[in-house]
Structure 1
Amino acid sequence: MSAQPANPNVPPDHVTVEIDGQSLVVPKGSMIIQAADKAGIAIPRFCYHEKLPIAANCRMCLVDVEKSPKPSPACATPVMDGMKVATRSEKALKYQRSVMEFLLINHPLDCPICDQGGECELQDVSLGYGRSVSRFNERKRVVADEDIGPLVATEMTRCIQCTRCVRFTADIAGTYELGGMYRGENLQIGTYDGKPLTTELSGNVIDVCPVGALTNKVFQFRARPWELTARESLGYHDAMGSNLFLHVRRGEVLRTVPRDNEAVNECWLSDRDRYSHQGLYAADRATRPLRKIDGQWQEVSWADGLAAAVEILKTHRGDALGVLAHPATSNEEGALLARLADGLGSGNLDHRIGNRDFSDAAVAEPFAVPLAQIEQADVIVVLGSNLRHELPLLHARIRKARMQRQARVYSINPVDFDFAFDQAGKQIVAPSGFAAALADTALREAVQGAAGRAVLIVGALVENHPQAAALRAAARDFAAATGAALCRVPQGANA
Structure 2
Amino acid sequence: MPKLIIDHIAVEVPAGTSVLEAAKSVGIWIPHFCYHPALGSVGACRLCAVKLLDGPVKGIQMSCMLPAQDGMVVSTTDPEALKMRSLVIEWLMTNHPHDCPVCDEGGECLLQDYTVAGGHGIRRYEGKKRTHVNQDLGPYIQHEMNRCIQCYRCVRFYQEYAGGSDFGVLGSARRVYYGRFAEGALESPFSGNLVDICPTGVFTDKPARFRARYWDYEMAPSVCPWCSLGCNTVPAARYRELLKTIARENRAVNGPFLCDRGRFTTAPVNDPARPRTPLVDGEERSWDEALDALTLRLGELGDLYGPESLAVVGSSRLSLEGNILLARLAGLLGAGKLCYFVDGEEATRAIAAVSLFTGERSASMAEVRKSDCVVIFESDLRDEGPMMLLAVRQAWRNGAPVFLVGEHAPLEQTRTVAIEAIELSIIEEVPLAIFERPVIICGSRTHAADLEVLARAEAKIACLFSGPNAFGAGILAGEEGAVALAEAVAAGTVKGILAVEADIPEALLAGVPFVAAFDWQPTEAVRHAGIVLPTAAWVESAGTFVNYEGRAQRFDKAMAPGLPIRGLPARYHASPDKPAPFHPPRLPRHVPPGGELRPAWRILADLAERFGGDAAAELFTGRWEPLRKLDPESEGIRLGNEGE
Aligned to 1:434: none
Post-superposition offset of 1:300: 4.1
Instruction: Give the CA RMSD over aligned residues.
Output: 2.5
Post-superposition offset of 1:164: 1.1
Aligned to 1:149: 138
* Secondary structure of residue in 1 paired with 2:375: strand
Contact 1:259 1:267 survives alignment (8 Å) = yes
Aligned to 1:418: 413
Contact 1:174 1:421 survives alignment (8 Å) = yes
Q: Is residue 453 of structure 2 the alignment partner of residue 470 of structure 1? A: no
- C-alpha change, 1:346 and 1:86, in structure 2 (3 Å) is same
* Secondary structure of residue in 2 paired with 1:40: coil
Q: Is residue 434 of structure 2 the alignment partner of residue 449 of structure 1? A: yes
Aligned to 1:40: 27
Q: 1:326 aligns with which of 290, 296, 315?
A: 315
Contact 2:440 2:459 survives alignment (8 Å) = yes
Q: Residues 18-33 of structure 1: matches in 2 within 5 Å? A: 18-33=5-20
Aligned to 1:314: 300
- C-alpha change, 1:131 and 1:485, in structure 2 (3 Å) is closer
Contact 1:358 1:469 survives alignment (8 Å) = no
Q: 1:163 aligns with which of 146, 149, 152?
A: 152
Q: 1:185 aligns with which of 138, 161, 174?
A: 174
Q: Which amino acid aligns with 1:59?
A: R
Post-superposition offset of 1:59: 0.8
Q: Residues 79-478 of structure 1: matches in 2 within 5 Å? A: 79-287=68-276, 299-302=282-285, 307=293, 310-311=296-297, 314-315=300-301, 316-354=305-343, 356=345, 362-365=351-354, 366=358, 368-404=362-398, 406-414=399-407, 415-419=410-414, 420-427=417-424, 437-438=426-427, 440=428, 442-443=429-430, 446-451=431-436, 453-462=437-446, 468-472=447-451, 476-478=452-454
Q: Deviations over 1:142-191 (max 9, x none)?
A: 11111111111111111111111111112332213321111121101002
Contact 1:56 1:73 survives alignment (8 Å) = yes
Post-superposition offset of 1:357: 6.5
CA distance in 2, matches of 1:69, 1:362: 61
Q: Which amino acid aligns with 1:396?
A: L
Give the unaligned 5+ runs of structure 2.
Answer: 471-644
Q: Deviations over 1:405-451 (max 9, x none)?
A: x1122111423232125345213x6xxxxxxx12x4x32xx101224
Contact 1:231 1:248 survives alignment (8 Å) = no
Give the unaligned 5+ runs of structure 1.
Answer: 1-13, 292-297, 430-436, 463-467
* Secondary structure of residue in 2 paired with 1:382: strand
Contact 1:411 1:423 survives alignment (8 Å) = no
Contact 1:402 1:421 survives alignment (8 Å) = no
Aligned to 2:610: none
CA distance in 1, matches of 2:75, 2:149: 26
- Give the % identical residues: 32
CA distance in 1, matches of 2:152, 2:119: 22
Contact 2:242 2:270 survives alignment (8 Å) = no
Post-superposition offset of 1:65: 2.6
- C-alpha change, 1:309 and 1:154, in structure 2 (3 Å) is farther
Post-superposition offset of 1:287: 3.6
CA distance in 1, matches of 2:349, 2:243: 44
CA distance in 2, matches of 1:91, 1:206: 33
Post-superposition offset of 1:87: 1.8
- C-alpha change, 1:271 and 1:313, in structure 2 (3 Å) is farther
CA distance in 1, matches of 2:78, 2:460: 52
- C-alpha change, 1:313 and 1:147, in structure 2 (3 Å) is farther
CA distance in 2, matches of 1:361, 1:187: 51
Post-superposition offset of 1:359: 6.4
Contact 1:455 1:486 survives alignment (8 Å) = yes
Q: Deviations over 1:232-262 (max 9, x none)?
A: 2211111111222222335443322122221
CA distance in 2, matches of 1:24, 1:359: 53
Q: Deviations over 1:337-390 (max 9, x none)?
A: 222222221252223335546668834514623332222322221111111332
Q: Which amino acid aligns with 1:261?
A: N
CA distance in 1, matches of 2:172, 2:79: 31
Post-superposition offset of 1:204: 1.3
- C-alpha change, 1:146 and 1:184, in structure 2 (3 Å) is same
CA distance in 1, matches of 2:365, 2:202: 33
Q: 1:488 aligns with which of 444, 455, 463?
A: 463
Aligned residue pair count:
453
Contact 1:200 1:389 survives alignment (8 Å) = no
* Secondary structure of residue in 2 paired with 1:418: helix
Q: Which moved more, 1:272-281 or 1:216-225?
A: 272-281
Aligned to 2:598: none
Q: Which moved more, 1:392-401 or 1:93-102?
A: 392-401
Aligned to 1:294: none
Post-superposition offset of 1:285: 3.1
Contact 1:380 1:455 survives alignment (8 Å) = yes
* Secondary structure of residue in 2 paired with 1:51: coil
Post-superposition offset of 1:58: 0.9
CA distance in 1, matches of 2:298, 2:86: 74
Higher relative contact order (CA 8 A, sep 6+): 2
**What TM-score results when the alignment is normalised by the length of structure 1?**
0.84
CA distance in 1, matches of 2:375, 2:97: 50
**What TM-score results when the alignment is normalised by the length of structure 2?**
0.66
Post-superposition offset of 1:319: 3.3
- C-alpha change, 1:15 and 1:331, in structure 2 (3 Å) is same
CA distance in 2, matches of 1:205, 1:319: 54
Q: Deviations over 1:280-300 (max 9, x none)?
A: 222443445789xxxxxx954
